[in-house]
Amino acid sequence: MTANSITRRKFIKQGIVGTLAVAPITLTHGCAGAKLDLKKEMADLDENPATRAKNQSYMDAYDFDNCLECGECLQGCIYKDLTEDQAIENIKKMREGDVAVCEEMLDQCVFCYNCNYRCPVDANPAALMFERLRDRREREGSVPSSLRYAINGMENKGWGYNLFRDLYTDHSEEEEEIIAGWSEPKDCGDGDLLWCSCAGRVFPYDIEHSHVLADLKKFGGKSDCCGLAAFRSGLFDVGRFLTNNLIDRLSECKFNRLVVMCGSCQDMFQLAMPEYFGQEFPFKIISVYQYLDEQIQNGKLAIKRQVPVDERQDACIFHSCFGHKFGDEYLACIKRLYEGVGFDCVELEHHGEDNACCGMGGFYRSGSLWDILEVKGVKKEDLKKSEKENIVAYCYGCFTISRLFQGGTTHFLLEKLLWALGDEIKYPMSGILGRSMNFSNLWHMTKISPSALF
């Protein structure tokens, strides 16, 4: 159970699972022709008043009637080149569901939610974009295999292998034991629980043996997933299914606050669920960065070492899509931490409400590698203009994409922070490419390559 003896039923009724059900829809999105049918699971939830969905689609989060059709959401996007008249015409046609226009706009979208900041009436136009992406998935008839591969937690629904499960096959026996321990429900009393995400489980050793994180019990099994990758891919039902499974798992634990290692998970817990599904968690959610900043401010932790001098002033901060959405205090926390580690970072040209995507947002369009390469271009140009060698990223996805495609030297802030606070890092995130060079990864990458490349 969660803190204060919150049972599964109370956990649901207080608002976390209250929107899990969606309209009964049959998806033919299996693996190698297999069918995925979530109709029964969603219908069962919908029959129960305690689990009935408030929002049954992305569209329910869009204020259709309040939209002015002014086009500002589209015209101000850094990934689109539209005149005012074109933007007005396109938003009208998107609202009507014009397939040709919707396809064109989706191929220029990174699903970063920034269009919401430009809307003068807070109509939440990002929800419209997501709904049209969901329409694309329906027209496709099956989920592209490259998209399926990026989504964890659907093994028991016929999707079989995925990127994270393949990465986990490279674990040592000790790492396997760590993950097995993390998968067990935790009783933290009035303490905090560290949610170890799909990405956080790739290198579990340093998290498990961290002196800095020793006061936190760790939780997260191999198939536990927040569902954000599915949510941002237009797979509303899959996202809800995964989130419901995670809620079942969290309701077995007892804790005060949930400390989240992964920005995507925090995005799902803190923003996507309340904004797009109309619900909030009955407990506080904070980032691991906010937790560590809090511990430093309270004098419980102290910086013991800093990065070399040659790295300090030759650095820039690589903001994630979610950074600005979490608010000014979150960004101030990130700044305090990277300055504490010793980095004197400059901001890139596109940040804040106009923050550029690392490239991963393009992948959600259709699971194409070429979309990642196209979208990353804005950020790459920003990096070039900054003339900085060292790139500081605080998101797992941003770190990986930057490390692979952006050039320069990319540093993962969490890793640098744990090191600065006294931990020794045995398995750095820079080893992600090496960890993926196992037979399972390489074989499945080969199998999905037609979907990712053509």
Element (H, E) at 45: helix 39-47
Cα separation, 303 vs 143, whole angstroms = 46
Q: What is the DSSP track for 249-282? A: HHTTSB-SEEEES-HHHHHIIIIIHHHHSS---S
Where are the CATH 3.40.50.1860 domain residues in the chain?
303-420
Q: What is the per-residue DSSP string for 119-139? A: -TT---HHHHHHHHHHHHHHH
- 11-140: CATH architecture: Orthogonal Bundle (1.10)
pLDDT of residue 244: 83
Tokens 């799909």 -> residue: 198
pLDDT in the model for residue 138: 94
Query: CA-to-CA distance for 328 and 323, rounded, in angstroms?
Result: 9
* Number of neighbours of residue 306 by Cβ within 10 angstroms: 16
State the CB neighbour count (10 A cutoff) for residue 136: 18
Task: Report DSSP letters for 387-411, one per residue.
Answer: T-SEEEE-SHHHHHHHHHHT-SEEE
Helical (H) or strand (E) element with 284: strand 284-287
Answer for the pair 197, 220: CB distance below 8 angstroms, yes or no: yes
Find out whether 190 and 257 touch, Cβ atoms under 8 Å: no
Three-state SS at 193 = strand
Region 303-420: CATH code: 3.40.50.1860
Distance between CA atoms of 358 and 369, rounded to whole angstroms?
A: 13
- Taking each helix axis from N to C end, the angle separating 84-96 and 99-106, rounded to the nearest 10 degrees, works out to 120
Residues 6 or more apart from 214 whose CB is under 8 A from it?
none
d(CA 97, CA 109): 16
- Tell me the longest C-alpha to C-alpha distance in the chain: 61
Give the long-range contacts of residues 420-423, CB within 8 A, separation 24 or more.
420/303, 420/304, 420/305, 420/306, 420/307, 420/340, 420/341, 420/342, 421/212, 421/292, 421/296, 421/301, 421/302, 421/303, 421/304, 422/211, 422/212, 422/304, 422/305, 423/206, 423/209, 423/210, 423/211, 423/212
Q: In which residue ranges of the chain is CATH 1.10.1060 found? A: 11-140
CB 413 within 8 A of CB 393: yes
What pLDDT is attached to residue 27? Answer: 37
Cα 13 from chain centroid? 26
- pTM metric for this prediction: 0.90
- Sign of torsion over alpha carbons 73, 79, 84, 89: negative
- Please say whether the beta carbons of 383 and 344 come within 8 A: no
Instruction: Give the Cα separation of 322 and 360 in Å (integer).
Output: 13
In a 3-state reduction of DSSP, which class is residue 318? Answer: strand
SS3 label, residue 205: helix
In the DSSP assignment, the letter for residue 14 is: T
pLDDT, position 48 = 64
List of the chain residues with pLDDT < 70: 1-54, 278-280
Kindly report, residue by residue over 370-399, the tens digit of the pLDDT: 999 999 999 999 999 999 999 999 999 999
pLDDT of residue 158: 85
